Structure 1
Amino acid sequence: MNVHNASGRRAALPADLARVLRTGPFHEALRAAITARGLALSRVRHRLAERGVRVGVTTLSYWQRGERRPARAESLRAVGALEDVLELRRGALTDLLRPTPDAAPSARPYRTLLDTAAPIAAILADLGAPSDGGVHSLCQLERVTVGRRRELLRRRSEQLLRAHRDGVDRYLAIHVGDPGCDPDRVVVRADENCRVGHVRGDRRAGVVVAELLLDARLRAGETRLIGYTVEDGTAGESREYVRGFSYPGGQYVLQVSFDPDDLPVRCHRFARSSAGAPPGDRRELVLDGRYPSVHLAEERVRDTILGISWEWAPTRRTNLSPPGGPGRR
């Protein structure tokens, strides 16, 4: 499609494309612009290369499906070149990547972040939850405790939430246990500025979804600090803890603490691009002899998966009690 008329002036954009360029999200606008121009991704890649910008077809596909979001400087330069290739005004796509306090960020689908996405989606539907949740995290601190049986004993989470639409009155906390997790014996406790509503679990997937009800409905742009704890301790030996991020941009701190009498021999921080992908960006974390814990800190997370993994010594103490749980809800 040629967007210039015979006089060389830019013709009006198709109505659907003009609308999504105003409202976003970025991935829908990019997909609509590529469709409107009738270009295959290979042609888009070729035209970018002619401008000295190298972006793979796979990356372009991720961007237009919302599975990744341009964030680094070189990616943002590529988006500027895309505006030229797709014959859009300067800033048409780049502006959609700039966060504003009240703007609804683009959510990455659960299926790209979790192997257990299908049962979680079913639980969310049962709870009548909107697909985007209505809130995103500006800052999150998680403290994970590994017990004396090397099990994931509990995790405590504190989050500063911001609503990106009016009327939000709850946050949905998702807990994915280790293999063998028994959702019936997992306990969710509200610690600060919220209360526990409905709790649903899927025994085969080992997942729990809990409603954390807020004290008032939030308007778009309003924030709320909440805290909650998940008591697990129902599965076997734990070897990693991961957190998937549907929304980019927030701060994240994860601390994993171990029993001082049974420390892992090695710990690593890692990232994954999607569920099932091999870990990348691995960095060793050193256990401090004074404190039996390690941590990672991200000032601005991408819509990705972050985690800490650890390796146990092959020998085990033999006087440990059998697996149990903290009790039923």
Structure 2
Amino acid sequence: MVTDDRLRAALTTGPFSLALRLALRASGLSLDRVQYRLAEREVPVSKTALSNWQSGRTQPERAESLRALAVLEEILGLPERALSALLGPPRPRGRWLTRAPNDMRADQAWARPDGLLRTLDSLGTTLAAVDRMSKVSVQVVCVVGADRVLHRVEHLVVLRAEQAGVDRYTVAYRSDLGEPEITAMVGCRQGRRRGDRETGFTTFELLLDRGLDAGELVTLAYTMAPGSAELYHSQRVGASTRVYGALVQFDSGALPVRVYRRFQSSVGETGCAEIDVRLGAAFTAQHVESDPAPGIYRIGWDWD
């Protein structure tokens, strides 16, 4: 019998990764121990696969994996099909098909991912739950004033619900120069907010008017006000994103000597080329990509 309230709720609503993670935690078994018990019953599963299942990076799809999942439910003391009932259809494969919302692990996407995980945990959620909504398109407008301060970052995003009932979108922002304010929202309202001063993370929820059907699209707009002398804006782009665009608008009284764009496949990649971006007549610079590769896109500027 399942007695943990969060686990009971996850087994009802999903997603699979969250339910598995909570079930493992409730069992008190390490991944090594679970792997050993599966091997004892002649349904071996690698520790990496178990880790990927609970993080949401992959899910059991092949026949041998589904057989192992049935045994895993017994090992964790769960009812029959408690976990397998949460599995969606097999994930399509290939660049031009719908893919997992985010191809990067937290440690690949962010410096100091421990801060992100702490803020999510304080919201009672996980990275797997964040991926219940994926970005189909993202357009960002950064406005830099005459004082060289990044006054606002306007976001316009098209999101797709990856499962039924999704009613919120979780946004993560990291800066070493202070927490941003949320100054305007369209199509949503601000929910809970958490910060981690040690790592500079701010995580907040944007609440929708209603839960979405699986596959349903929605457009949201929100504006963040960093109010700090940032020298760039970086955007994490996942495999589901079809259009990415970033535009920076400068005050005519304070024009940078250089604007550039840069792409990193992960935060640990070094030696990435910086490509100059020309400033337009309206004192704007922009970078737009169609079907962008998953990774980190930065548009930055130098004053000296």
Which TM bucket (shorter chain)?
A: 0.5 to 0.7
Greater gyration radius: 1
Q: Distance in 1 between matches of 2:188 and 2:96?
A: 27
After superposition, the CA RMSD in angstroms is: 3.2
Contact 2:158/2:219 (CA < 8 Å) preserved in 1?
A: yes
Tell me how many residue pairs correspond in the alignment: 228
State the AA in 2 paired with 1:97.
Answer: G
State the AA in 1 paired with 2:112.
Answer: T
Q: Distance in 2 between matches of 1:108 and 1:282?
A: 22
Q: Distance in 2 between matches of 1:263 and 1:121?
A: 37
Distance 1:94 1:187, change over 3 A: closer
Contact 2:153/2:223 (CA < 8 Å) preserved in 1?
A: yes
For residues 202-221 of structure 1, the aligned pairs below 5 Å read: 202-221=196-215
SS of 2:252's equivalent? Answer: coil
Counterpart of 2:140 (choices 130, 142, 145) is 142
- For 2:292, the equivalent position in structure 1 comes to 301
Q: Deviations over 1:290-319 (max 9, x none)?
A: 311101001112221111121113xxxxxx
Contact 1:272/1:279 (CA < 8 Å) preserved in 2?
A: no
1:264 maps onto 2:260 in alignment: no
- For 2:83, the equivalent position in structure 1 comes to none
- For 2:113, the equivalent position in structure 1 comes to 117
Unpaired segments of 5 or more residues in structure 1?
A: 1-13, 33-92, 314-329
Q: Distance in 1 between matches of 2:56 and 2:201?
A: 31
Contact 1:248/1:301 (CA < 8 Å) preserved in 2?
A: no
Q: Percent identity at matched positions?
A: 26
Q: Distance in 1 between matches of 2:226 and 2:109?
A: 21
1:283 maps onto 2:275 in alignment: yes
Instruction: Tell me the CA shift for residue 283 of structure 1.
Output: 2.1
Counterpart of 1:180 (choices 177, 180, 185) is 177
Instruction: Tell me the CA shift for residue 147 of structure 1.
Output: 2.4
Unpaired segments of 5 or more residues in structure 2?
A: 1-42, 63-89
Q: Distance in 2 between matches of 1:243 and 1:311?
A: 18
Contact 1:189/1:196 (CA < 8 Å) preserved in 2?
A: no
State the AA in 1 paired with 2:244.
Answer: Y
Q: Deviations over 1:80-106 (max 9, x none)?
A: xxxxxxxxxxxxx995236656x6545
Counterpart of 1:194 (choices 188, 192, 199) is 188
Counterpart of 2:159 (choices 154, 158, 161) is 161
SS of 1:97's equivalent? Answer: coil
Q: Distance in 2 between matches of 1:114 and 1:292?
A: 30
Counterpart of 1:129 (choices 125, 128, 136) is 125
Distance 1:166 1:100, change over 3 A: farther
SS of 1:201's equivalent? Answer: strand
Is 217-226 or 277-286 further displaced after alignment?
A: 277-286
Distance 1:279 1:312, change over 3 A: farther
- For 1:231, the equivalent position in structure 2 comes to 225
Q: Distance in 2 between matches of 1:196 and 1:279?
A: 38
Q: Distance in 1 between matches of 2:263 and 2:123?
A: 30
SS of 1:230's equivalent? Answer: strand
- Name the TM-score, length of structure 2 as normaliser: 0.66
Contact 2:259/2:301 (CA < 8 Å) preserved in 1?
A: yes
State the AA in 1 paired with 2:94.
Answer: L
State the AA in 2 paired with 1:210.
Answer: F
- For 1:273, the equivalent position in structure 2 comes to 265
State the AA in 1 paired with 2:157.
Answer: Q
Q: Deviations over 1:109-167 (max 9, x none)?
A: 12101113111111111112242310101111101112233222210101000011122
- For 2:93, the equivalent position in structure 1 comes to 96
Contact 1:109/1:246 (CA < 8 Å) preserved in 2?
A: no
Q: Distance in 2 between matches of 1:130 and 1:228?
A: 22
